[in-house]
Amino acid sequence: MRTPLIAGNWKLHKTVPEALELVKALKNQVAEVKDVEIVVGPAFTALYPVTEAIRGSNIAVAAQNCYPENTGAYTGEVSPLMLKDAGCKYVIIGHSERRQIFKESDEFINAKIKAALGEDLHVIFCIGETLEEREAEKTWDILKTQLQNGLDGITREDLKKIVVAYEPVWAIGTGKTATGDQAQEAHAYIRGQLKEIFGQQSAEDMRILYGGSVKPDNVDGLMSRSDIDGTLVGGASLKAADFARIVKFQAG
């Protein structure tokens, strides 16, 4: 059975005091949750204080990005080694904002995934099509290419530390969630592709999260779908009560 994973991506929000206020409130509100893995993703500056604040709790911390080298002359970058040192368990890689705004390629994303695994970090690997691509009926090609290139050279053993997040770009921050049917269809396709690359068992074990305008009022429907194993939440992860409700989803 796949343990559900609910992850919050705080993006470029929250100073250190604000991050601590949010995570402390969340900690209280989800203290009794046992059967769901809970992850929060603060900005780099708040990672260490947040990992200190959640020590011993049922919440883990994700960074939102990393560079594929551990040390060197890479001004402004943060490495997997540093993230591990700051107490992170996860790192989000390949988010569509990184792909689109910062022009990150599949190859660069693949290098980051390998570097993160090299430091024993777990990876939330994001893929998803834009509205243009969906309208041009390229969704399946895009997902296939992003998966194949992003996971190039990854072993079945590595795969145990990777979670895929399907985030249709047109649903991120827009209030337009994919319907349960659209999301399930994409997740089933992704699982099928994983099966082609890694075999049946690895594909069955893999958690596939849905992301894109997940809210307290749509999470239950999404989580009741057979191939949706969790959610990656942006806007609604910035309020403790909303995120706690998402963590306590009720799949029908």
Any contact of residue 91 with ligand PGA (CB under 6 A)?
Answer: no
Least distance to ligand PGA, CB of residue 239, Å: 12
State which residue has the least CB distance to ligand PGA.
234
Q: 188 to each of 93, 182, 225, 226, 248, how far by Cα in Å? A: 21, 10, 10, 9, 24
Any contact of residue 212 with ligand PGA (CB under 6 A)?
Answer: yes
Among 66, 121, 172, 222, binds ligand PGA (CB under 6 A): 172
Place of tokens 């075999």: 199
95 is catalytic: yes
Give strand pairing partners of 230. 5, 209
Any contact of residue 213 with ligand PGA (CB under 6 A)?
Answer: yes
Active-site residue (options: 37, 95, 104, 187): 95
Q: 214 to each of 173, 209, 230, how far by Cα in Å? A: 9, 11, 10
Q: How far is 185 from 117, CA to CA, in rounded Å?
A: 29
Among 9, 79, 184, 218, binds ligand PGA (CB under 6 A): 9
Q: How far is 42 from 19, CA to CA, in rounded Å?
A: 7
Q: 153: how many CB neighbours lie within 10 A of its CB?
A: 9
Among 6, 233, 244, 247, binds ligand PGA (CB under 6 A): 233
Active-site residue (options: 97, 104, 133, 167): 167
Residue 152 and residue 110 in contact, taking contact as beta carbons nearer than 8 Å: yes
122 is catalytic: no
Any contact of residue 218 with ligand PGA (CB under 6 A)?
Answer: no
* Positions marked catalytic: 95, 167
Q: Which residues bind ligand PGA (CB under 6 A)?
A: 9, 167, 172-173, 211-214, 232-236
